[in-house]
Structure 1
Amino acid sequence: MVLDPGIELYWYGHSMFVTTGDGTTVAVDPVPPEVGYRYDPVEADVVLMSHQHFDHSFLAGIKGGGSPNAISAAGTFEVGKLTIEGIASHHDAQQGRQRGPNIIFTWEQGGVRLAHLGDLGDLPGPTVMKKLTGVDVAMVPVGGVFTIDGEQAARLVRDLAPKVVLPMHYATPDCSIKLDGSDVFTGRFGGEVRTIPDRPLKISADILPVKTEAWIVPYQ
């Protein structure tokens, strides 16, 4: 039996993640240094941006031979061996009237199905939830203020039931934006919470837990 090779995943703080697998590197929601997270430019084949706010669309933080693909819309996109789906949602609880649209991205990489929920501002309806069925690893905002808060995130994760949830967009010692800490979410999550020191985080289908776990990972 041939096992799926899995992926390597980095969190760079805020909502920025980079995943590598199947010969492709995906960067999501690149964060600028003004938010407090500093890093060397990251090489990527494609950049996914949930929306155009400054703290999620710092293309200067990405290098990819000069011009990586940048996707910030709903639809289906082919990048290398990956099929990436952008799903329309809202950045607020007023159908986007307050803060605009938000794109949720899903893709399978290295045998692991991932979802990045961007700056989700309201709990998704049944149409969106159906598209998220079967997600293994969900990157979910939990810091409130500009997104769903920790209590809403915990409710969403219980309904979505991914194998792993990676909290994001929350207060850290380096974050310059006022947000709630991850403890608001983890205190209401109800499942096992693990602090994973590994960087990169290596994830493959054979190590995924049976019941949903929240993994707190380091940022660079």
Structure 2
Amino acid sequence: MVEVRYLGHSAVWLSDGQTRIIIDPFLTGNPMAAASLAEVQADLILVTHAHGDHFGDSVALSKKGGVVVSTFEIATYAEKHGAKSVPMNIGGTYRFAGGFVKWFPAWHSSSFPDGTYGGMPMGVVVELAGKRIYHAGDTALFSDMALIGELNLDLALLPIGDHFTMGPEDALRALDLLKPKRVVPIHYNTFPPIKQDGEAFARRAQEKGVEGHALKPGGVLVLD
């Protein structure tokens, strides 16, 4: 069993009762955050790209005992600021007791708020307790999502905000390529330019044969 907790924007917390994973931990300064930094612990901190609304509290969470796993550029940047890190790159796999993390491309940009280059943006597949979860990061629709779909995904976490990422229409097309059992929309409604109707997206996903779950910040989906 895997607990998937949506923390707002693109921040998602996963746990199988042993390993705790957070992806894109933008909590501090996030108007939609469902938890504060003080309330969150993670063993692995996965960062898809360097933008402030994704890198977020990565260093602070690492100082509480977690390890930042990301691109070489993000991991070394985090380490210079006091984090423990594992530098990786697209195509690489990080294995841990009970599962793995594998990085895939994303079509976006990646730089820190101070202008430092963050390497290539990425999406990630996490296998935890036998469940496979794809977090697309910030991305446009791209046809190689079909290769990710070959991994038999239990859940896809897809941005639908438009403006900076793909919007609902392209995210629905992505479902045809990814073929996940379930989908949760992310990266929307945090700021005015990315306002979207998550419930409408979830309903349209259902019409395509994919379980759609428009989780509110703080909402939980259990994969069993």
TM interval, short-chain normalised: 0.7 to 0.9
Whether the 8 Å contact between 2:99 and 2:129 is mirrored in structure 1 is: no
Whether the 8 Å contact between 2:184 and 2:202 is mirrored in structure 1 is: no
Q: Superposed, which structure 2 residues align to 1:71-220 within 5 Å? A: 71-73=69-71, 74=90, 75-91=92-108, 101-120=120-139, 122-126=140-144, 128-133=145-150, 134-171=152-189, 175-183=190-198, 186=201, 189-192=204-207, 211-220=209-218
Q: For each residue in 1:102-144, what CA deviation from the matched residue of structure 2 results, as whole angstroms up to 9, or x when unmatched? A: 2111021122111000001x22233x42133211100000010
Structure 2 match to 1:27: 22
Cα distance 1:29–1:58, how it changes in 2: closer, same or farther (>3 A)?
same
Cα distance 1:216–1:61, how it changes in 2: closer, same or farther (>3 A)?
farther
Whether the 8 Å contact between 2:28 and 2:56 is mirrored in structure 1 is: no
Shift of 1:80: 2.9
The answer to which of 80-89 and 99-108 deviates more is 99-108
Structure 2 match to 1:47: 45
Amino-acid identity (%): 25
Equivalent position SS for 1:78: strand
* Partner Cα distance (1:176, 1:88) in 2: 25
* Partner Cα distance (1:183, 1:48) in 2: 24
Equivalent position SS for 2:213: strand
Q: For each residue in 1:168-200, what CA deviation from the matched residue of structure 2 results, as whole angstroms up to 9, or x when unmatched? A: 0111xxx2352131359618835259xxxxxxx
Task: Compute the TM-score of the two structures, normalised by the length of structure 1.
Answer: 0.75
Query: Which of 3, 8, 12 matches 1:17?
Result: 12
* Partner Cα distance (1:109, 1:71) in 2: 16
1:58 aligns with 2:76: no
RMSD: 2.6
Q: For each residue in 1:3-54, what CA deviation from the matched residue of structure 2 results, as whole angstroms up to 9, or x when unmatched? A: xxx1111101000000001610110001143231342221000011110000
* Partner Cα distance (2:183, 2:176) in 1: 10
Equivalent position SS for 1:8: strand
Alignment coverage as a number of residue pairs: 187
Unaligned runs of 5+ residues in structure 1 are 1-5, 93-98, 194-210
Whether the 8 Å contact between 1:115 and 1:132 is mirrored in structure 2 is: no
Task: Compute the TM-score of the two structures, normalised by the length of structure 2.
Answer: 0.74
State the AA in 2 paired with 1:56: H
Structure 2 match to 1:95: none
State the AA in 1 paired with 2:108: H
Equivalent position SS for 1:90: coil
Q: For each residue in 1:56-75, what CA deviation from the matched residue of structure 2 results, as whole angstroms up to 9, or x when unmatched? A: 01125863663411122221
Instruction: Please state which structure has a larger fraction of its residues in helix.
Output: 2
* Partner Cα distance (1:218, 1:187) in 2: 12
Shift of 1:101: 3.2
Cα distance 1:137–1:62, how it changes in 2: closer, same or farther (>3 A)?
farther
Whether the 8 Å contact between 2:202 and 2:212 is mirrored in structure 1 is: no
* Partner Cα distance (1:190, 1:146) in 2: 21
* Partner Cα distance (2:43, 2:162) in 1: 31
* Partner Cα distance (1:40, 1:131) in 2: 32
State the AA in 1 paired with 2:36: D
The answer to which of 25-34 and 99-108 deviates more is 99-108
Instruction: Please state which structure has a larger fraction of its residues in strand.
Output: 1
* Partner Cα distance (1:50, 1:150) in 2: 20
